[in-house]
Each structure stands twice: as C-alpha cells, then as structure tokens.
Amino acid sequence: MRLIKTRTADEFAGAAADVIAEQLRRPQSVFALPTGNTPIGAYAELVRRARAGLVSFATAQIFNLDEYCGLPLADPHSYAAFMHMHLIAPLGLSERQARLWRGDAPDLEAECRDYETALGACGGIDLCVLGLGTNGHIAFNEPGSAWDVRSHVVALSPSTRAQYERETAGSREVATHGLTLGIRNLLEARRVLLLIAGAHKSAARDALYRGAENVDWPVTSLLRHAALTVIELCESADAP
C-alpha cells in the first residue's frame, strides 16, 4: 500500500487530482468514481486543471460506483445528479462517456448485468477511486458483504440509511437498497485510490492500517490489491 498523508483540504484534493491526472495521460482510461463529500475538492481541482488545459477527459470513460435504488437519474439526491453537477457538466462529458446507475430501473438485476456488459466493453476499470463509509463500507459494500461478487443490489445498513436521511434532510422516504459495484469489481481494477477524510472515519481507517483482512470492515478487502494508493487528510493532532 502506498500511503500519502496530507495536512490541508487543498493538499488532499491536489494529491487525489494528481493520481487521477496521471491515469488521464493514458488515452481511453476507464474510471470508477465515488460520490460524497470526500472527492468534491479533487473534482473541483480536476475541473480547474481541465479548463487550464492541463488535463483532458476527452477519451476517458467514467462509471459511478453506486446509487440509491428508486432514484431516477434526474433526482437531485441521486448520485447520478451529484456526478452531473461536479464532473459531467463542468467537464462537458458526453452521455457516451459516463455510465451512471439507473436507480429507478424496473429490473435491477438486469441493470446490474447491463453495467457489467458496459464495463467489459470498455476493457475494465483502470483506476477505481473510492471514498470510505464510517462503517468501513466501500461503494455500497456494507460490513459482512461477500468479497467475490460483482455488480449487485444491496440492502443498505442502518448507518448508511441514516446518512441518506441526513443528505435528503428527511424530505423523502429513506432508500432501503442500493446498486453497487461489488468488491470483486474493485479488486479487478488495475489501480485503486482510496480517499480518507474525516475524524468519524478513524475506526474504519484503523482497521485498514492494522493490515488484517476482516469481513466486518469491507475496506480491508483492499489489502489484497497490489496497486493500492491511500490518500488521507490527517487531522492536525495526528498529522505526519
């Protein structure tokens, strides 16, 4: 594992953007990308670099890691809408370049199969960028989930449902299920970049840093990956 510790939000965003920019130098790069607060700074930095002509997404392909079931692409609380707001619209990516989960697909199993087909057609994921759930989840692979599955429908844990409730400010019924790339997809990516920010992630982070695989902490599955980079935004108390 390559570990990069950063001290400020700008440094954290810049380090994450650097890893993504390095992959972008290779044409036809395929990315799996996270939503959430953690990657927002990196996405803004990539948009800034793209506008300055320093990076180009012209031949890149992006996939969303996960989505809440029941939410259409246009729903402002969907991860698809997040990706539109932070990357797709500001970068001017075409529809063809971004495969987003259809949370409102009538047949969710068929949606998973379609997602796998689209991934396969692109030749698989070159760089999989991940955030970290407070409970150690990666994408929507919740504690206790199997590590040998690809795209699937998942029952959301109580803590993830609580996060959803906060995000939607109680404005709608809480989603009970999600669509997600499986841990097998994440481990099959050629490179993995895990972004860790926030004191509330410390238990999950520590489980990873202990270096022992544990199904109760899905993030520890990444210990199996030979090309894992972790970028952490350190709180000032434990900064390097």
Nearer to ligand GLP, 28 or 176 (CB): 176
Closest Cα partner for 66 from 2, 152, 140, 14?
Answer: 140
75 carries an active-site annotation: no
Subset of 174-213 contacting ligand GLP (CB under 6 A): 198
104 carries an active-site annotation: no
User: Is residue 68 within the footprint of ligand GLP (CB under 6 A)?
Assistant: no
Question: Site for ligand GLP (CB under 6 A): which residue of 15, 30, 65, 108?
Answer: 65
Write down the catalytic residue from 84, 142, 152, 232: 142
142 carries an active-site annotation: yes
Nearer to ligand GLP, 30 or 42 (CB): 42
Q: How far apart are CB 9 and ligand GLP at their closest, in Å? A: 13
Q: Assign 3-class secondary structure to the chain.
A: CEEEEECCHHHHHHHHHHHHHHHHCCCCCEEEECCCCCCHHHHHHHHHHHHCCCCCCCCCEEEECEEECCCCCCCCCCHHHHHHHHHHHHHCCCHHHEECCCCCCCCHHHHHHHHHHHHHHCCCCCEEEECCCCCCCECCECCCCCCCCCCEEEECCHHHHHHHHHHCCCCCCCCCEEEECCHHHHHHCCEEEEEEECHHHHHHHHHHHHCCCCCCCHHHHHHHCCCEEEEEECCHHHCC
Nearer to ligand GLP, 25 or 166 (CB): 166
User: Is residue 131 within the footprint of ligand GLP (CB under 6 A)?
Assistant: yes
Question: Site for ligand GLP (CB under 6 A): which residue of 70, 133, 182, 218?
Answer: 133
User: Is residue 36 within the footprint of ligand GLP (CB under 6 A)?
Assistant: yes
Write down the catalytic residue from 64, 111, 126, 135: 135
User: Is residue 111 within the footprint of ligand GLP (CB under 6 A)?
Assistant: no
Write down the catalytic residue from 137, 141, 225, 232: 137
Give me the active site residues, please.
66, 135, 137, 142
Q: Point out which residues bind ligand GLP (CB under 6 A).
A: 34-38, 65-66, 131-133, 139-140, 160, 163, 198
